[in-house]
Amino acid sequence: MHNSKMKRKRAVDQWVDIYLTEAEKQIQIKQEREFKKKVYRKWKGVCYICGQKCSKHETNLHHLSGRSWAKLDRINVENAVVVHKRCHKRYHKYYNHKRSSKWMLVEFVKVNYPENYEKVK
């Protein structure tokens, strides 16, 4: 398997529930992949934070309601936005993964990218 493909596979696998059976895990992995594609298409690959286009390899998905607590919105397209890896990392330096919610992201945009705030508020 190609190296970048392996990396992508691992990135997906890390979110899969360890208590699932192998067949259930495969279903979940497939769901996640479909989900990511849909979210990317919905946002046309534009970063929610800085407003610039992301190429596929620099794209992360961000869950508006953090996936560690909003389990039912794990693959809800309405709950996810496209962000650059670097913008995502910067955001989570200030806002913890476990508590993250939409208003925190909007506030982050307001402070750091005021020119993009009108689009996301």
Q: Smallest gap, in angstroms, from Cβ of residue 26 to Zn ion?
A: 32
- For 119, residues 6+ apart whose C-beta sits below 8 A from its C-beta are 51
**Contact track, Zn ion, 34-73, x by CB under 5 A:** -------------x-xx-----------------------
Is residue 49 packed enough to be buried (19+ CB in 10 Å), middle (13-18) or exposed (0-12)?
buried
Nearer to Zn ion, 25 or 95 (CB): 95
Nearer to Zn ion, 2 or 57 (CB): 57
CB 61 within 8 A of CB 36: yes
CA distance 89 to 25: 27
Nearer to Zn ion, 30 or 85 (CB): 85
Q: Which residues bind Zn ion (CB under 5 A)?
A: 47, 49-50, 84, 87
